[in-house]
Amino acid sequence: MITVRCPFCKKPDSRVIDSRAAEDGNTIRRRRECTGCGKRFTTYEVLERAPLMVMKNDGRREPFDRDKLLRGLVRSCDKRDISMEKIVALGSDIERELRNTMEREITTRFIGELVMEKLKDFDEVAYIRFASVYRKFKDISNFLEELEMLKEQGKKN
């Protein structure tokens, strides 16, 4: 049982009047009432996340950066008829999947492959754009190979 002290009278007992999810479900907002003085106050419970580290190709490690992931997705979806809401939702889905691996260190390769897998179903043009940068296409033949693979997978579905 959680004991929350009243910010007014400091009594260590309050009752929860209302609970709601806030900020995309990662925070719980609780409205409380002190059993001593009767005043009401709000508390927030935030999901504590263990840091997720990214292992770079050159051996360096850096913290996972959600904004960097979103910038890559936005760049891939540039001038496409895709709302920011959908792009952010895709980014959240990718981040959730990364965190659900329960690994604390993830390679850039794993992240790149996951992004490509998600983009393939999300938007094929965004997928090709991302693949061209991620796989460092050197000429048109690389594009054609990737397009042929997409066409083949489309026929199977």
**Whole-number pLDDT of residue 103:** 87
Confirm if 55 and 61 have CB atoms less than 8 A apart: yes
**Whole-number pLDDT of residue 148:** 83
Half-sphere exposure of residue 153: CA atoms within 13 angstroms, side-chain side: 10
Confirm if 34 and 8 have CB atoms less than 8 A apart: yes
| pTM metric for this prediction | 0.64
Q: What is the mean pLDDT of the chain?
A: 88
Model confidence band, residue 23 (pLDDT cutoffs 50, 70, 90) = low
Region 80-96: mean pLDDT is 93
Region 63-80: mean pLDDT is 94
**Whole-number pLDDT of residue 59:** 93
Token pair of 120, please?
Answer: 């393939």
pLDDT over 70 at 48, yes or no: no
Residue 1 CB contacts under 8 Å (≥ 6 apart), including other chains: none
